[in-house]
Structure 1
């Protein structure tokens, strides 16, 4: 079984997610952020629209080597990218060490990188490193042509096409086979996945319902503050950062213990 998905960003602002689904597409990859300087303004609407119709969606972050990994992750969090991420690693993204540094930065804040767009041409440019441990390799190979995604895919060899050829000791799990597919009246990037919808959902980390995903986000916000930046109303630590509820509770316990110690001292100083 082969499923088809689309890749969208602010270049497709206003596109109807429900119409994409009605044309038979099974999932969405949508841009969340880039480097440490761009929060894609279309992501919140795309996310809400996909969740409203239970269409699997995963956000992606375009990696920029000149930006610190932690700062890039903060940009993702600031746009509510969610608990699962796809890394777009190509021009200006750096080498494989930069890639793994970014993965670790996502891991540090509890975001799971489930997909990696690292096309073969860029893999060769950065020295053909080992990709065997890269999560969810997404390849690209455009055979040419335009029209409906299914027709382009079939003409490119379908499930035996060049986009499925392994490289870097890794097997592509998704193939971006066109940037000219006719979808809801636009020319879009189209992707193929060999498997059923349950396999796809497991791959992208979307095994939660939209309601569960929102509940998880709510728990994260309550524990870590909006975008993981703490709550200003709870005060600040010695570095000037907002406190989380756990930080504030720990501080309160310390204060109470100090007060109790002072009370015991005062009681001891009072003679009967």
Structure 2
């Protein structure tokens, strides 16, 4: 209970000079979260959730459908995310797989654009790809998603991964919203030429299930972002 209280206080009070005037609480989940209280999350201020849908080109999260339905019923803005496996198949192949299994977007005001989760995996920090090859892989995924939905996917990353695996590429800073992973009390340095993050994952736990996120703006801005 004490931990939950501290996290709720943190979520309601976090702010960073020059980058945000308001923030909206959210969270992200996957099949690892077997018990998620969507209604309590909403009652305590959460307004969005990002839900794992797929991984690579052949793995579907078994909890995605139920998570997505429950999130919708609770009144949350929701969207799917894809865990990238750049060493196993092309970006286009994985974007197409993601879109076929929950990662799509529609301008209904309650659906977030899909998120591409970029982090280390079983093939090492950068999946055996050079920085140029990694940037090309991400662009292949991003362009395919954009071609089919009209939106560019959000990119989830942390500064160290982005620096090591893309040489801090600025290619995506004008097109793709940044979901910054940094578990701390402040955002810190923004990588990749982005002027600011769209969403900040600031903690690896959330009282009602998953990780803690903040949208960089107020609720009206969140709804506008979901609407495209």
The two structures have a TM-score, normalised by structure 1, of: 0.62
Question: 1:38–1:75: 8 Å Cα contact kept in structure 2?
Answer: no
1:134, CA displacement in angstroms?
A: 4.4
Q: Name the residue aligned to 1:74.
A: 96
1:122, CA displacement in angstroms?
A: 0.7
Q: Name the residue aligned to 1:63.
A: 84
Superposed CA RMSD in Å reads: 2.1
List gaps (5 residues or longer) in structure 1. Answer: 144-155, 209-272
**Pairing partner for 2:117 from 88, 102, 106:** 88
Question: 1:61–1:87: 8 Å Cα contact kept in structure 2?
Answer: yes
Q: Name the residue aligned to 1:220.
A: none
Q: Does 1:106 align with 2:145?
A: yes
Q: Does 1:197 align with 2:227?
A: no
1:84-134 C-alpha deviation (Å, 9 max, x unpaired): 311111225652221111111212333623421121111111212114234
1:10-29 C-alpha deviation (Å, 9 max, x unpaired): 00134232222122212101
Question: 2:163–2:191: 8 Å Cα contact kept in structure 1?
Answer: no
Q: Name the residue aligned to 2:227.
A: 207
**Pairing partner for 1:28 from 39, 49, 64:** 49
Q: Name the residue aligned to 1:169.
A: 193
Question: 1:8–1:189: 8 Å Cα contact kept in structure 2?
Answer: yes
Aligned counterparts of 2:35 and 2:145: Cα–Cα separation in 1: 29
Question: 2:80–2:102: 8 Å Cα contact kept in structure 1?
Answer: no
Q: Does 1:115 align with 2:154?
A: yes
Moved segments of 4+, more than 3 Å: none
Structure richer in helix, relative to its length = 1
Aligned counterparts of 1:74 and 1:129: Cα–Cα separation in 2: 24
Q: Does 1:141 align with 2:162?
A: no
With a CA cutoff of 8 Å and minimum separation of 6, indicate the structure with the bigger relative contact order.
2
* DSSP 3-state at the match of 1:25: coil
Question: 2:23–2:217: 8 Å Cα contact kept in structure 1?
Answer: yes
Q: Pick the structure with greater CA Rg.
A: 1
Aligned counterparts of 1:122 and 1:49: Cα–Cα separation in 2: 33
List gaps (5 residues or longer) in structure 2. Answer: 1-21, 106-112, 122-126
Question: 1:86–1:113: 8 Å Cα contact kept in structure 2?
Answer: no
Q: Name the residue aligned to 1:256.
A: none
Question: 1:139–1:175: 8 Å Cα contact kept in structure 2?
Answer: yes
Q: Does 1:51 align with 2:59?
A: no
Matches for 1:148-159 after TM superposition, within 5 Å:
156=185
Aligned length in residues:
186
1:58, CA displacement in angstroms?
A: 1.4
1:32, CA displacement in angstroms?
A: 0.9
